[in-house]
Amino acid sequence: MKKVLAFCFLMAVVSVTFAQSPIHCLIKTSLGDIAIELYADKAPVTVANFMRYADKNAYQGSSFFRVCTPANEAGRKVKIQVIQGGNVPDSMMLDSIKIETTKQTGLLHKNGMLSMARSGPNSATSEFFICIGNQPALDYGGARNPDGQGFAAFGRVTRGMDVVKKIQAQKDTGQYLLKPVKIYRIKRFE
Protein backbone atom coordinates (compact mmCIF):
# COMPACT_ATOMS: atom_id res chain seq x y z
CA MET A 1 0.00 0.00 0.00
CA LYS A 2 2.83 2.40 0.85
CA LYS A 3 4.43 1.74 -2.56
CA VAL A 4 1.15 2.53 -4.30
CA LEU A 5 0.74 5.78 -2.35
CA ALA A 6 4.36 6.76 -3.01
CA PHE A 7 3.89 6.08 -6.73
CA CYS A 8 0.66 8.13 -6.80
CA PHE A 9 2.41 11.03 -5.04
CA LEU A 10 5.33 10.86 -7.46
CA MET A 11 2.97 10.87 -10.45
CA ALA A 12 1.10 13.87 -9.01
CA VAL A 13 4.38 15.79 -8.60
CA VAL A 14 5.43 14.91 -12.16
CA SER A 15 2.01 15.96 -13.50
CA VAL A 16 2.09 19.30 -11.66
CA THR A 17 5.67 19.94 -12.81
CA PHE A 18 4.75 19.13 -16.42
CA ALA A 19 1.59 21.23 -16.22
CA GLN A 20 3.57 24.26 -15.11
CA SER A 21 6.17 24.00 -17.89
CA PRO A 22 5.11 25.60 -21.17
CA ILE A 23 6.70 24.49 -24.43
CA HIS A 24 8.96 27.21 -25.83
CA CYS A 25 9.39 27.71 -29.59
CA LEU A 26 10.97 30.21 -31.92
CA ILE A 27 9.26 31.31 -35.12
CA LYS A 28 12.01 32.46 -37.49
CA THR A 29 10.64 34.78 -40.19
CA SER A 30 12.06 36.97 -42.94
CA LEU A 31 11.25 40.02 -40.77
CA GLY A 32 12.71 38.68 -37.50
CA ASP A 33 12.14 36.15 -34.72
CA ILE A 34 9.05 35.62 -32.57
CA ALA A 35 9.48 33.64 -29.34
CA ILE A 36 6.35 31.84 -28.11
CA GLU A 37 5.27 29.61 -25.26
CA LEU A 38 2.55 26.99 -25.60
CA TYR A 39 0.23 25.76 -22.84
CA ALA A 40 -0.15 22.00 -23.27
CA ASP A 41 -1.61 21.74 -19.76
CA LYS A 42 -4.60 23.90 -20.76
CA ALA A 43 -4.96 23.15 -24.50
CA PRO A 44 -3.38 19.71 -24.99
CA VAL A 45 -5.08 18.81 -28.29
CA THR A 46 -4.28 22.16 -29.91
CA VAL A 47 -0.67 22.28 -28.71
CA ALA A 48 -0.06 18.66 -29.80
CA ASN A 49 -1.45 19.50 -33.25
CA PHE A 50 0.76 22.61 -33.62
CA MET A 51 3.85 20.70 -32.46
CA ARG A 52 3.21 17.83 -34.90
CA TYR A 53 3.50 20.38 -37.73
CA ALA A 54 6.50 22.11 -36.14
CA ASP A 55 8.38 18.89 -35.31
CA LYS A 56 8.06 17.53 -38.85
CA ASN A 57 9.23 20.90 -40.28
CA ALA A 58 5.92 21.43 -42.08
CA TYR A 59 6.01 25.17 -41.33
CA GLN A 60 9.39 25.53 -43.05
CA GLY A 61 8.69 27.56 -46.17
CA SER A 62 5.18 28.57 -45.13
CA SER A 63 4.35 32.21 -44.43
CA PHE A 64 2.37 34.85 -42.63
CA PHE A 65 0.03 35.71 -45.47
CA ARG A 66 -3.02 37.46 -43.99
CA VAL A 67 -3.39 40.51 -41.75
CA CYS A 68 -6.41 42.12 -40.14
CA THR A 69 -5.86 45.84 -39.55
CA PRO A 70 -8.07 48.78 -38.59
CA ALA A 71 -8.01 49.87 -42.26
CA ASN A 72 -8.94 46.56 -43.88
CA GLU A 73 -11.47 45.70 -41.16
CA ALA A 74 -13.27 49.08 -41.40
CA GLY A 75 -16.24 47.62 -43.27
CA ARG A 76 -16.78 44.71 -40.87
CA LYS A 77 -19.27 44.81 -38.04
CA VAL A 78 -16.94 42.87 -35.70
CA LYS A 79 -13.36 44.13 -36.11
CA ILE A 80 -10.19 42.30 -35.08
CA GLN A 81 -6.42 42.74 -35.38
CA VAL A 82 -4.36 39.61 -36.07
CA ILE A 83 -1.69 38.20 -38.34
CA GLN A 84 -2.31 34.74 -39.81
CA GLY A 85 0.20 32.17 -40.99
CA GLY A 86 1.02 28.49 -41.27
CA ASN A 87 -0.17 27.72 -44.80
CA VAL A 88 1.58 24.38 -45.29
CA PRO A 89 1.55 22.34 -48.53
CA ASP A 90 -1.37 19.94 -48.96
CA SER A 91 1.08 17.02 -48.82
CA MET A 92 1.97 17.99 -45.21
CA MET A 93 -1.64 18.55 -44.08
CA LEU A 94 -2.89 16.53 -41.10
CA ASP A 95 -6.45 15.79 -40.04
CA SER A 96 -8.41 18.65 -38.49
CA ILE A 97 -8.79 18.78 -34.71
CA LYS A 98 -11.61 19.26 -32.23
CA ILE A 99 -11.80 22.83 -30.95
CA GLU A 100 -10.70 23.52 -27.37
CA THR A 101 -12.74 26.65 -26.68
CA THR A 102 -11.66 29.48 -24.42
CA LYS A 103 -14.52 28.43 -22.12
CA GLN A 104 -12.78 25.06 -21.69
CA THR A 105 -9.18 26.29 -21.45
CA GLY A 106 -9.48 29.70 -19.81
CA LEU A 107 -6.98 31.06 -22.36
CA LEU A 108 -8.43 34.30 -23.71
CA HIS A 109 -7.52 36.18 -26.87
CA LYS A 110 -5.40 38.87 -25.26
CA ASN A 111 -2.52 40.78 -26.83
CA GLY A 112 0.09 38.35 -28.16
CA MET A 113 -2.02 35.19 -27.87
CA LEU A 114 -1.67 32.43 -30.48
CA SER A 115 -4.81 30.71 -31.68
CA MET A 116 -5.85 28.29 -34.41
CA ALA A 117 -7.55 29.57 -37.54
CA ARG A 118 -10.66 27.66 -38.62
CA SER A 119 -13.43 27.86 -41.17
CA GLY A 120 -16.10 25.91 -39.29
CA PRO A 121 -16.61 23.72 -36.22
CA ASN A 122 -13.65 21.40 -35.55
CA SER A 123 -11.86 22.41 -38.76
CA ALA A 124 -8.47 23.74 -37.51
CA THR A 125 -5.42 22.21 -39.17
CA SER A 126 -2.09 24.04 -39.61
CA GLU A 127 -2.98 27.73 -39.84
CA PHE A 128 -2.72 29.91 -36.74
CA PHE A 129 -2.91 33.57 -35.85
CA ILE A 130 -1.42 36.00 -33.35
CA CYS A 131 -3.59 38.65 -31.67
CA ILE A 132 -2.58 42.30 -31.69
CA GLY A 133 -4.33 43.90 -28.74
CA ASN A 134 -7.14 42.20 -26.82
CA GLN A 135 -9.62 40.43 -29.11
CA PRO A 136 -12.62 39.29 -27.00
CA ALA A 137 -14.72 38.79 -30.17
CA LEU A 138 -12.56 35.68 -30.81
CA ASP A 139 -13.36 34.07 -27.43
CA TYR A 140 -16.15 31.58 -26.76
CA GLY A 141 -19.44 33.44 -27.21
CA GLY A 142 -17.67 36.19 -29.16
CA ALA A 143 -19.34 37.70 -32.20
CA ARG A 144 -16.60 37.09 -34.81
CA ASN A 145 -17.59 33.50 -35.58
CA PRO A 146 -21.30 32.84 -36.18
CA ASP A 147 -21.29 29.49 -34.33
CA GLY A 148 -20.30 31.21 -31.07
CA GLN A 149 -17.51 28.71 -30.34
CA GLY A 150 -14.77 31.25 -30.90
CA PHE A 151 -11.25 30.04 -31.63
CA ALA A 152 -8.76 27.84 -29.76
CA ALA A 153 -6.10 29.95 -28.02
CA PHE A 154 -3.07 27.85 -27.05
CA GLY A 155 -0.02 30.02 -26.40
CA ARG A 156 1.42 33.52 -26.37
CA VAL A 157 4.28 35.61 -27.70
CA THR A 158 7.00 36.12 -25.09
CA ARG A 159 9.33 38.15 -27.31
CA GLY A 160 8.93 39.67 -30.76
CA MET A 161 5.65 41.59 -30.72
CA ASP A 162 7.57 44.26 -32.64
CA VAL A 163 8.01 41.68 -35.42
CA VAL A 164 4.29 40.79 -35.24
CA LYS A 165 3.40 44.47 -35.68
CA LYS A 166 5.92 44.83 -38.51
CA ILE A 167 4.21 41.92 -40.30
CA GLN A 168 0.79 43.50 -39.73
CA ALA A 169 2.09 46.77 -41.27
CA GLN A 170 3.03 45.16 -44.61
CA LYS A 171 0.99 46.12 -47.69
CA ASP A 172 -2.10 44.04 -48.30
CA THR A 173 -5.03 43.80 -50.62
CA GLY A 174 -8.24 42.38 -49.20
CA GLN A 175 -6.33 41.32 -46.05
CA TYR A 176 -3.83 39.20 -48.03
CA LEU A 177 -0.22 40.39 -48.04
CA LEU A 178 1.15 41.41 -51.41
CA LYS A 179 4.46 39.82 -50.32
CA PRO A 180 3.82 37.13 -47.69
CA VAL A 181 6.37 37.09 -44.85
CA LYS A 182 8.32 33.83 -45.01
CA ILE A 183 8.40 31.46 -42.05
CA TYR A 184 11.82 29.83 -42.23
CA ARG A 185 11.00 27.39 -39.42
CA ILE A 186 9.30 26.92 -36.10
CA LYS A 187 11.52 25.09 -33.65
CA ARG A 188 11.22 24.25 -29.98
CA PHE A 189 13.95 25.35 -27.60
CA GLU A 190 14.65 24.98 -23.89
Condensed to tens digits (0 to 9), the pLDDT of residues 42-52 reads 999 999 999 99
Return all residues near 174 (Cβ < 8 A) that are at least 6 apart: 72
Structural domains of the chain in order of their starting residue, each with its CATH number: 22-189 (2.40.100.10)
Condensed to tens digits (0 to 9), the pLDDT of residues 135-156 reads 999 999 999 998 999 999 999 9
What pLDDT is stored for residue 174 in this prediction? 96
Q: What is the C-alpha separation between 136 and 152, in angstroms, rounded? A: 12
What pTM value is reported for the model?
Answer: 0.89
What pLDDT is stored for residue 190 in this prediction? 76
For every residue of the chain, which 3-state class applies, written as one string? Answer: CHHHHHHHHHHHHHHHHHHCCCEEEEEEECCEEEEEEECCCCCHHHHHHHHHHHHCCCCCCCEEEEEECCCCCCCCCCCCCEEEECCCCHHHCCCCECCCCHHHHCCCCCCCEEEECCCCCCCECCCEEEECCCCHHHCCCCCCCCCCCCCCEEEEEEECHHHHHHHHCCCEECCEEEEEEEEEEEEEEC
Condensed to tens digits (0 to 9), the pLDDT of residues 53-94 reads 999 999 999 999 999 999 999 999 999 999 999 999 999 999
How much is the mean pLDDT over the chain?
Answer: 91
